[in-house]
A and B are shown apart, each in its own frame.
Chain A
Amino acid sequence: MMKNNEQLTKEMFQKVHDNFEHAEKINRPSVSYWADVWRRIKENKLAMLGLILIISLSILAIIGPYINGYSYYEQNFMEKNLKPNAEHWFGTDQLGRDIFTRVWYGARISLFIGVMAALIDFLVGIIYGGISGMASGRTDNIMMRIAEILYAIPYLLMVILLMVVMEQGLWTIILAMTLTGWIPMARLVRGQVLQMKEQEFVQASEALGAKTGWVLRKHMIPNTMGPILVNVTLTVPTAIFAEATLSFLGLGIPAPQASWGTMANDALDSILVGNFYQLFFPAILISLTMFAFNVFGDGLRDALDPKLRK
């Protein structure tokens, strides 16, 4: 450390006065919370892959059914069980329908169900959990007991029962799924609200005379949004999975509409006669979609965790 000793001159030992200017300087630029979240998601390659897959699947769900000129319901008995070829890119099924067109039509149904179920769970959960958490005491207790009992009923069992009872159709599936699906969200929201009420910065803000609305907007919502957003993201694959399972059991979307689950079910017999491709495309797409939402949700959770903020 004294290696520069020879070069030391008397002038260097003059007092300086400008050194304090940098004393309060913060060394790293401060970034807003969401910008920081976005930066961390971008660093997470798996999460970005998930996001790109979600976007591509959504785009293909919109334009996919129109690309090669076939329709999802049009049957052609002359072209049954064709392997993938130049005309039918993913082949045809046992009724001669174009699988390429059908999988993207199925993507619409599956994604629509997934997103709608997540949205409805989100809305109901926020309202129920929010009221329960804000009310506290007796109301809270009763509301949570009801939720607890409903939640003890196995999810898929409940959905299957409802599908038996109600008329088959798209909205029935969504209704069946959201009938108990909102409960985890409600519990999460309630937990977050209760936690927030106890948080010192919220109490500090209230002590400083902040209005409820301001506390809600400035502190509660930004700090509770993280886990809730993650939960919404992870509800989508759960709903897609439930729909696929229902359709696979034959309780899902009625024909001629198609979802990935019904297509997989239709294809089940065909694998025994060697037409594995009929199962392959819907199966891969279900898996890819679930993969995409799961890794994106995971990445979002990691990115939102302020404890990891460096």
Chain B
Amino acid sequence: MFRYTLKRLGWAIVTLWAVITITFLLMHSIPGNPFAKEGTMPEAVYNNLQHYYNLDKPLVVQYGLYLKQLAQFDFGPSLKSKTITVNDYIVNGFPVSLHLGMQALVIAIAFGLIFGVIASLNRNRWPDYVSMVLSIIGISVPSFILATFLINFVAVEWGLLPVATWSSWSHTVLPSVSLAMMPMAYIARLMRSSMLEVLGQDYINTARAKGIAKHMIIFKHAIRNAILPVVTVLGIITANLVTGSFIIEQIFGIPGMGEMFVKGIFNRDYPVILGSTIFYAAILIFLVFIVDIAYTFIDPRIKITGESK
């Protein structure tokens, strides 16, 4: 168990290093100069800027310096403003994004599981059709379209919920729902097929042959086993939530990390893009690591296979 955890942790670090290196190289392979847009500037100023951002040094040295910085959790200064660092952006934006992301994740998991279970227990009857139609719509309608529709109808036309800014809880409802819809649909579909498979297993018959009541079988035997595949995809789902949040924050004007990332893209503010990419990737890799470890606790079979791997 301990060895498995260590091994996974090792992988997580290697993966993060690969992400850092790839993003770093990508950012520095952009032709032209980040200050070119600033128009004409005196040679001395330009040289100072180059020096300040270490751009006058060879790439390998820059890479080494950047890794050293990162090791101290320092993402460096922003190109656009010398007084604000990338760390400031993250410290300000991340709590908001985390709030939005967690809220959406909870909605997605809770309703996804409920819809999936209800559908599987009523296979080929109307609750099944309703939840499956909803989830097909969920995976077919991109979040930004759902978001704009919700803004247009719920917020603007009917005035039911406020949007724009992040000032009260009611402001968070529509963004969270828009963000949650696709992962919710995904979980519902996965849970449905997983439940159907488990319900056809012999051990469900064994439990029934023991005289166990139907609802107890569903909770203790069926859901317990059917949820395993859902746990394995939580990492991917979270990744989708993170990337989905770029757009949602943009549309709803939420001052989170996603908005900062998108702004960084348009300003060609490379340290911001680099820093937030690495930050996002680190969070995701960490989450996948946690999910992997958590999985060994949920599925007793994995301990053996995990260690012998």
Residues of A whose CB lies within 8 Å of any CB of B are 148-150, 152-157, 160-162, 164-165, 237, 241, 244-245, 248-251, 264, 268, 271-272, 276, 279, 283, 286-288, 290-291, 294-295
**Contact: A154 with B243, CB < 8 Å?**
yes
Cα A244 to Cα B244 in complex, Å, equals 12
Closest A-B pairs by Cβ, 10 of them: A156-B243, A291-B140, A290-B140, A152-B15, A283-B145, A154-B239, A149-B18, A287-B141, A271-B152, A165-B26
5 A–B pairs (Cβ distance < 8 Å), ordered by A: A152-B19, A152-B288, A155-B243, A249-B262, A286-B142
| List of B residues within 8 angstroms of A271 by Cβ | 148, 151-152, 156
Of A150, A157, A276, A288, the most chain B CB neighbours within 10 A belong to: A157
Q: Tell yes or no: B66 within 8 A of A by CB.
A: no
| List of B residues within 8 angstroms of A249 by Cβ | 246-247, 250, 262, 265
Q: Tell yes or no: B14 within 8 A of A by CB.
A: yes
| List of A residues within 8 angstroms of B250 by Cβ | 249
Q: CB-nearest residue of chain B relative to A301?
A: B193
Q: CB-nearest residue of chain B relative to A293?
A: B140
| List of B residues within 8 angstroms of A160 by Cβ | 243, 246, 265
Stretch from B44-52, B87-95, B207-215, B278-286 that touches the partner: B278-286
**Contact: B136 with A161, CB < 8 Å?**
no
| List of B residues within 8 angstroms of A283 by Cβ | 145, 148-149
**Contact: B265 with A164, CB < 8 Å?**
yes
**How far in angstroms is the closest Cβ of chain B from A288?**
8
Instruction: Determine the main DSSP class of A at the interface with B.
Output: helix
**How far in angstroms is the closest Cβ of chain B from A70?**
25
Cα A284 to Cα B151 in complex, Å, equals 16
Q: Tell yes or no: B22 within 8 A of A by CB.
A: yes
| List of B residues within 8 angstroms of A165 by Cβ | 26-27, 29-30
Cα A290 to Cα B272 in complex, Å, equals 33
B26 contacts which of A150, A162, A250, A295 (Cβ < 8 Å)? Answer: A162
Of B30, B246, B285, the most chain A CB neighbours within 10 A belong to: B246
**Contact: A294 with B242, CB < 8 Å?**
no
Cα A210 to Cα B54 in complex, Å, equals 64
Known A152-B288, A249-B262: A157·B140 in contact at CB below 8 Å: no
Q: CB-nearest residue of chain A relative to B243?
A: A156
| List of A residues within 8 angstroms of B85 by Cβ | none
Question: Which residues of B, 112-165, contact A by the 8 Å Cβ criterion?
Answer: 136-137, 139-142, 144-145, 148-149, 151-152, 156
| List of B residues within 8 angstroms of A150 by Cβ | 18
Q: CB-nearest residue of chain A relative to B274?
A: A161
Residues of B whose CB lies within 8 Å of any CB of A are 11, 14-15, 18-19, 22-23, 26-27, 29-30, 136-137, 139-142, 144-145, 148-149, 151-152, 156, 239-240, 242-243, 246-247, 250-251, 262, 265-266, 268, 273, 277, 280-281, 284-285, 288
| List of A residues within 8 angstroms of B27 by Cβ | 165
**Contact: B142 with A245, CB < 8 Å?**
yes
| List of B residues within 8 angstroms of A286 by Cβ | 141-142, 145
Of B144, B285, B288, the most chain A CB neighbours within 10 A belong to: B144
**Contact: B251 with A291, CB < 8 Å?**
no
| List of B residues within 8 angstroms of A287 by Cβ | 137, 140-142, 145
Given contacts A164-B268, A287-B137, 7 further A-B contacts (CB under 8 A): A152-B19, A155-B239, A157-B243, A165-B27, A244-B144, A245-B142, A283-B148
| List of A residues within 8 angstroms of B152 by Cβ | 271, 276, 279
Q: CB-nearest residue of chain A relative to B270?
A: A164
B273 contacts which of A161, A241, A290 (Cβ < 8 Å)? Answer: A161
**Contact: B280 with A264, CB < 8 Å?**
no
Q: CB-nearest residue of chain A relative to B250?
A: A249
**Contact: A149 with B14, CB < 8 Å?**
yes
**Contact: A153 with B19, CB < 8 Å?**
yes
**How far in angstroms is the closest Cβ of chain B from A213?**
34
Cα A279 to Cα B149 in complex, Å, equals 9
**Contact: A248 with B26, CB < 8 Å?**
no
Cα A162 to Cα B27 in complex, Å, equals 9
| List of A residues within 8 angstroms of B19 by Cβ | 152-153
**Contact: A153 with B22, CB < 8 Å?**
yes
Cα A245 to Cα B143 in complex, Å, equals 9
**Contact: A290 with B285, CB < 8 Å?**
no
**How far in angstroms is the closest Cβ of chain A from B26?**
5
Cα A249 to Cα B141 in complex, Å, equals 17
B141 contacts which of A155, A290, A295 (Cβ < 8 Å)? Answer: A290
| List of B residues within 8 angstroms of A276 by Cβ | 152
**Contact: A291 with B136, CB < 8 Å?**
yes
**How far in angstroms is the closest Cβ of chain A from B153?**
9
Known A152-B19, A245-B247: A264·B281 in contact at CB below 8 Å: no
**Contact: B23 with A161, CB < 8 Å?**
yes
Cα A251 to Cα B250 in complex, Å, equals 14
**Contact: A161 with B277, CB < 8 Å?**
yes
**How far in angstroms is the closest Cβ of chain B from A255?**
16
**How far in angstroms is the closest Cβ of chain A from B37?**
14
**How far in angstroms is the closest Cβ of chain B from A150?**
8
Cα A262 to Cα B277 in complex, Å, equals 24
**Contact: B277 with A248, CB < 8 Å?**
no
Q: CB-nearest residue of chain B relative to A284?
A: B145
Cα A153 to Cα B15 in complex, Å, equals 8
| List of A residues within 8 angstroms of B239 by Cβ | 154-155
**Contact: A154 with B284, CB < 8 Å?**
yes
**Contact: A268 with B148, CB < 8 Å?**
yes
